[in-house]
């Protein structure tokens, strides 16, 4: 198995990080960050792995993370604004979409609540796990998996343009992750407009987490769905989005 040499990685300071830890293989970068955070590690620590043997996505789903297929990483942040933490996955999606756009062939789209697509294929997934101390937010672990090539077991996925290196990908994406984690409050009108422009679900019929037509998102990050013939919109704050024509694709 071939791994990048130390000199092939950008430095922590070049990425605006407090520390960069690279593993050839690890069970889960998410679990590593939670372990380090519990021991007092500072915000801005990033764990990156060539391979995860037990990587995971939302709802405990397995995330394919074989060597060479992509960049698998988790960032530790210690935000103080609980309102912002509720929309963090969406803000991360917006920032990552901006960062990826010059590195892909196609339009970067966003699928509520945590997926990044290029055209109709998934290129990245985001997982945010928060830990609280009493009523105060202690830390968040921000996991991101980015495809550098299409996984053999998921041919519908997408990847960055051929020739894009992991160095280039990290230099583009990591600063956007850090910036998203520093934003305060709920989504702004500018962010809502930006989401609308990239929204993969807007005006499409969905079957989960409820049945209806997706009509965008609210300032608190909720999915807005028009159910039945009423003009009223239902706010959905949890679940996975499934399109009517793509049952099972979450």
Specify whether 151 is located in the same domain as 218: no
**Residue 166 CB partners (closer than 8 Å, separation 6+):** 4, 8, 9, 71, 148
Mind listing the pLDDT tens digit for each residue in 60-94?
555 556 777 899 999 999 998 988 999 999 999 99
How confident is the model at residue 246, as a pLDDT? 60
Please check whether residues 57 and 165 belong to one and the same domain. yes
**At 108, which CATH number?**
3.30.930.10
Segment 9-27 mean pLDDT: 93
Instruction: Tell me, yes or no, whether 102 and 212 share the same domain.
Output: no
Average pLDDT over residues 6-17: 82
61 and 174 assigned to the same domain: yes
* pLDDT above 70 coverage of the chain, percent: 90
Domain range enclosing 42: 6-190
123 and 148 part of one domain: yes
Same domain for 166 and 210?
Answer: no
Residue 196 inside a domain? The answer is: no
The mean pLDDT of the chain is 90
What does the pLDDT average to over 54-65?
59
Is residue 227 domain-shared with residue 182, that is, in the same domain? Answer: no
For residue 196, what is the DSSP state? Answer: H
- Say yes or no: 80 and 186 in one domain: yes
Indicate whether 62 and 163 sit together in one domain: yes
Beta strands at 19-26 and 45-52: parallel, antiparallel or unpaired: parallel
Same domain, yes or no: 19 and 141: yes
For the entire predicted model, the pTM comes to 0.90
Place of tokens 């966003």: 110
What count of Cα atoms within 13 Å lies in the side-chain half-sphere of residue 110? 29
Look at residue 44 and tell me if it is in a domain. Answer: yes
Domain shared by 222 and 148, yes or no: no
Residues 234 and 125 in one domain: no
């Amino acid at each position: 198995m071939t791994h990048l040499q130390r000199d092939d990685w950008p430095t922590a300071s070049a990425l605006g990080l407090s520390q960069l830890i690279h593993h050839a293989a690890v069970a889960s970068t998410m679990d590593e960050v939670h372990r380090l955070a519990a021991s007092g590690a500072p915000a801005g620590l990033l764990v990156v792995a060539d391979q995860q043997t037990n990587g995971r996505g939302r709802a405990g789903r397995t995330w394919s993370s074989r060597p060479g297929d992509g960049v698998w990483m988790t960032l530790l942040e210690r935000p103080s604004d609980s309102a912002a933490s509720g929309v963090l996955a969406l803000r991360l999606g917006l920032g990552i979409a901006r960062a990826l756009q010059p590195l892909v062939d196609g339009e970067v789209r966003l699928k509520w609540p945590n997926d990044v697509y290029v055209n109709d294929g998934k290129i990245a997934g985001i997982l945010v796990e928060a830990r609280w101390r009493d009523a105060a937010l202690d830390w968040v672990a921000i996991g991101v998996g980015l495809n550098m090539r299409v996984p053999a077991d998921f041919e519908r996925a997408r990847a960055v343009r051929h020739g894009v290196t992991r160095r280039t990908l990290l230099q583009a994406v990591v600063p956007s992750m850090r910036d998203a984690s520093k934003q305060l409050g709920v989504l702004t009108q500018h962010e809502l407009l930006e989401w609308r422009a990239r929204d993969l679900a807007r005006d499409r019929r969905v079957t989960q987490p409820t049945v209806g037509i997706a009509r965008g998102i609210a300032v608190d990050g909720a999915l807005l769905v028009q159910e039945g013939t009423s003009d009223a919109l239902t706010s959905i704050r949890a679940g996975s989005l499934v399109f009517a024509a793509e049952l099972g694709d979450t």
